[in-house]
Structure 1
């Protein structure tokens, strides 16, 4: 508990209260590895602090004293310590990489889960922007979170050790580096706001570039058809130029800040050379003491600059943290009650989804019924059905499942019993089998072939490589109709109570569509089947219920005949 409280305080100090709430567990899991790295780092720093003193002995006790045995002894000691420093440095570098990488994996995994769990009520950010946050922002905040304590403790250790050894050489000269620190701190405090602004600009341009890249690549077929590939390249080039300009400004400012620190260090070194050289000439110092003092002064400037530089690094990390806070705060929690037991009864009472254009509708879907939800494009049919899985909010009325308001039920409980199949299915790169078992990881091959047969895919799959047929990214190697049929097979694999086919047959030819619909009606009699379709065999029925959404009073009728939109689409198809 003590380490958890300490980690929480560090997280709040580095990033603020909001970020600390979700990054503290990640930092706590990374703490053991960080402590091991810190131990090796301090050991290497101790050996590094000893080297100037050994060099002093080589010069003063060996060379200047004309003592060859002493020269050999101190030279060997210096070599051994230097070799040990190199070895420890290599081991520390590998330990640091492993521990840091594990923390990055943990952090990215947490942010990835939050991205997948994003509240569907919120608009999705551009894909490139989301990728920039998962990649660049995660790396920025992880590097700062993992390295800050290491850098701070190591810098304080080397700084303290260097001051003690410099005091041992000459306490008056040891005051010089301490006098320079306030000037550098003052400058960095004045420079920090600009550092923050430039970091924000660079992050925004990085997100813009990623979005432009993802959008252009995914639209290349459309651009090629419009003979607009040059325009796509030009837009991408402009985004690259914007990011480059922002990076140049940030780098110029970083170099300026670094130049001020280096100027202070160079001035300090010059003063030590003048004063120390005068003492050597006066006989107060030996030449080895001057060399050692210069070495410690140089060693002190590094840790001091690291400590002061953390102030600016925190500004950049906070920008990344704020962007990641947006990801974490946008995730939907899986809160609510389970669905009451029993066959699923859907009740709509004066219901209209948010941003839908239809009038409020009331209906009851009995378990195992077959329903056509009709209406013109854009009126809100899909939005109304998305309310059933809490993927869209209600603007008015109520939607209940077995008597309980949908808004009070757990999202995972809803999606475990309701499958909403969209017009453009999402298929993943991999094998056909991999895409199917997403719906039921325990399904055996016999069950997979069964749903492929129902989706009129078995013959096609046997002509390929069966369940090992490879699907490329987004299944781009399949036609639109094949992609829809794979998605239908996957949906039929789920033990769902409700299947919503939302234009899910729009790209499938009529003959295959008839075969699939026949199989669904035969095999899914206990499942409530809701169809949304503007044309094609799906509309041929028969249906237990047809609901037409309109901007006037909705037409609600139990029917096995045609509805106005069916006749209209039939005429269009005949023409």
Structure 2
């Protein structure tokens, strides 16, 4: 592999799909290189057979041919640039698409990649990998073609001067080998600083209202400034090192040009060389430096790309396979057998939740109610016990299929920037306008939507222009559109006024009498529903399952007050 000895499985399909584009760019590049190699030889002919021989006919002939080849090189350069842009952009889009998919599939148990760091890897590291992976073949083959052609033509002119660049190349390679570890170290430092800066930006902007209320905005701004200064210092160190490495290559190139000029000039003075040969030789010597530096530069570019691969590899490693068998849509029951999620504080839970029933999951804050229901969709790891759907372990089913069966509505729902209709269709992409309006009415949003632009009402990012209650109503409207036979309302009514909550609850009961509805609520009208089963989670006493009419969590609350 071009990124080291270890296979990078997620990158192989991207490279395979990019090969046709790389091939097209390579073909154009080689043709352009051939024209470039021919031009110095034509210049020699113009000087030696036209100017120095005082032959006007040949001068015009070779000058016209040189001009035509120059136009061809320009046209090829434009075509190559456009094909290169399209092919490289397609590869970058493909790579980002795969990385974005991995980020969306990140295992909920993994908390090691903040949002800003993830964004930095999706953008910067993907770009670094794409540039190296796409250009590696092009640079290597193109440079080898130019070097081989240049050396052959220089040897044809006079083989003795070819020894000078050949002898200096190992010196440059040794220097680059010694410099490579620092290149990789500085690249890793800068990448980490960019990730930290992106994390601070994302986190601070998402908490701007909280920071403003606490009067902490300026302190956060100062912290951001310190991070920027650190990043600038890291960039300066990286740039200084890159300039130093480049300077060595330029000095060696200058030595080659000076040697050719001195020795070749001496040969011209002696009459052993015509002037055109010296000019062509100088042109080829200059042309060789670029491909040679490109080939040797790939060695350092690989060091930088290895850092990017390692960072992006961590993103793919955190992703889990969402595919798997689907549970039966016409399920009858969910069985919990001494179940507890990792990190929860309650006693293990045993219960049977049947289709068509209404269940209240009760317990003090932080005891693990949300994590318990998250085990049903494999979004929280299990510490002990098991959960089954119609007698088959939840772990046998794919997470994506489980989420299609069990809809979890959190207390703080996600609202995307876009229209109201677009946000609702996240739950039902093919739903018509009539179905959307029906869901809005059932979620107590119909009057509000009609007073604005209806389904075309624009919503700000994260629903920042909405109250908490309005965001919860939009989430509940999605629930009315969803086809999930199991619904978990996790404090989904906590910010809705009592009258509105009662109307929505009544609509849920009317609309979904056959579905299993699980509620988590510490207060409000939800707790007054006629539940078929009340499950109280306790950390200090055996789990209590209570039937209709009993008050859940009463003893637990009494113990908390006593403490």
Asked whether the two chains share a fold, i.e. TM above 0.5, the reply is yes
- The equivalences for 1:111-510 within 5 A come to 111-123=99-111, 125-340=113-328, 342-510=330-498
Distance in 2, Cα, partners of 1:471 & 1:30: 38
Query: Per-residue deviation at 1:335?
Result: 4.6
Distance in 2, Cα, partners of 1:331 & 1:249: 34
Q: 1:502 touches 1:532 (CA, 8 Å); kept in 2?
A: yes
- The equivalences for 1:56-75 within 5 A come to 56-75=44-63
Partner of residue 13, structure 1: 2
Query: Per-residue deviation at 1:76?
Result: 1.8
2:91 maps to which of 97, 103, 128: 103
Q: 1:421 touches 1:487 (CA, 8 Å); kept in 2?
A: yes
1:201-238 CA distance string (max 9 Å, x none): 01100100101111111121122212222112111111
1:155-206 CA distance string (max 9 Å, x none): 0000000001001100111121111111011111111111110111011001
Q: 1:535 touches 1:566 (CA, 8 Å); kept in 2?
A: no
Query: Per-residue deviation at 1:562?
Result: 2.4
Q: Which secondary structure does the structure 2 equivalent of 1:36 belong to?
A: helix
- The alignment status of 1:554 with 2:546, answered yes or no, reads no
TM-score where L is the length of structure 1: 0.95
Identify if the C-alpha distance between structure 1 residues 376 and 568 changes in structure 2 by more than 3 Å, giving closer, same or farther: closer
Query: Per-residue deviation at 1:72?
Result: 2.1
Q: 1:542 touches 1:561 (CA, 8 Å); kept in 2?
A: no
TM-score where L is the length of structure 2: 0.97
1:125-164 CA distance string (max 9 Å, x none): 1111000000000000011111110011100000000001
Q: 2:105 touches 2:322 (CA, 8 Å); kept in 1?
A: no
Q: 2:535 touches 2:552 (CA, 8 Å); kept in 1?
A: no
Q: Which secondary structure does the structure 2 equivalent of 1:159 belong to?
A: helix
Distance in 2, Cα, partners of 1:457 & 1:224: 30
Q: Which secondary structure does the structure 1 equivalent of 2:413 belong to?
A: coil
Distance in 2, Cα, partners of 1:427 & 1:486: 8
Query: Per-residue deviation at 1:413?
Result: 1.9
Query: Per-residue deviation at 1:17?
Result: 3.3
Structure 1 residues 416-425 or 329-338, which shifts more? 329-338
Q: 1:15 touches 1:321 (CA, 8 Å); kept in 2?
A: no
1:98-148 CA distance string (max 9 Å, x none): 111011111111111111111122225111100000000000001111111
RMSD of Structure 2 on Structure 1 (CA): 1.6
Distance in 2, Cα, partners of 1:189 & 1:296: 26
Distance in 2, Cα, partners of 1:234 & 1:565: 48
**Number of residue pairs aligned between Structure 1 and Structure 2:** 558
Q: 1:348 touches 1:364 (CA, 8 Å); kept in 2?
A: yes
Identify if the C-alpha distance between structure 1 residues 567 and 254 changes in structure 2 by more than 3 Å, giving closer, same or farther: closer
Query: Per-residue deviation at 1:311?
Result: 0.6
Q: Which secondary structure does the structure 1 equivalent of 2:366 belong to?
A: coil
Give unpaired runs (5+ residues) of structure 2: none
Q: Which secondary structure does the structure 2 equivalent of 1:22 belong to?
A: coil
Q: 1:369 touches 1:527 (CA, 8 Å); kept in 2?
A: yes
Partner of residue 514, structure 1: 502
- The alignment status of 1:33 with 2:26, answered yes or no, reads no
Q: Which secondary structure does the structure 2 equivalent of 1:391 belong to?
A: coil
Query: Per-residue deviation at 1:521?
Result: 1.4
Q: 1:383 touches 1:392 (CA, 8 Å); kept in 2?
A: yes
Q: 2:428 touches 2:481 (CA, 8 Å); kept in 1?
A: yes
Q: Which secondary structure does the structure 1 equivalent of 2:347 belong to?
A: coil
Q: Which secondary structure does the structure 2 equivalent of 1:168 belong to?
A: helix
Identify if the C-alpha distance between structure 1 residues 244 and 469 changes in structure 2 by more than 3 Å, giving closer, same or farther: same
Distance in 2, Cα, partners of 1:63 & 1:46: 25
Structure 1 residues 340-349 or 360-369, which shifts more? 340-349
Identify if the C-alpha distance between structure 1 residues 495 and 340 changes in structure 2 by more than 3 Å, giving closer, same or farther: closer
Instruction: Give every structure 1 segment of 4 or more consecutive aligned residues whose post-TM-superposition deviation is greater than 6 Å.
Output: 566-569
Partner of residue 23, structure 1: 11
Distance in 1, Cα, partners of 2:545 & 2:288: 82
Q: Which secondary structure does the structure 1 equivalent of 2:3 belong to?
A: helix
Distance in 1, Cα, partners of 2:258 & 2:483: 79
Query: Per-residue deviation at 1:511?
Result: 1.1
Query: Per-residue deviation at 1:360?
Result: 0.8
Query: Per-residue deviation at 1:264?
Result: 0.5
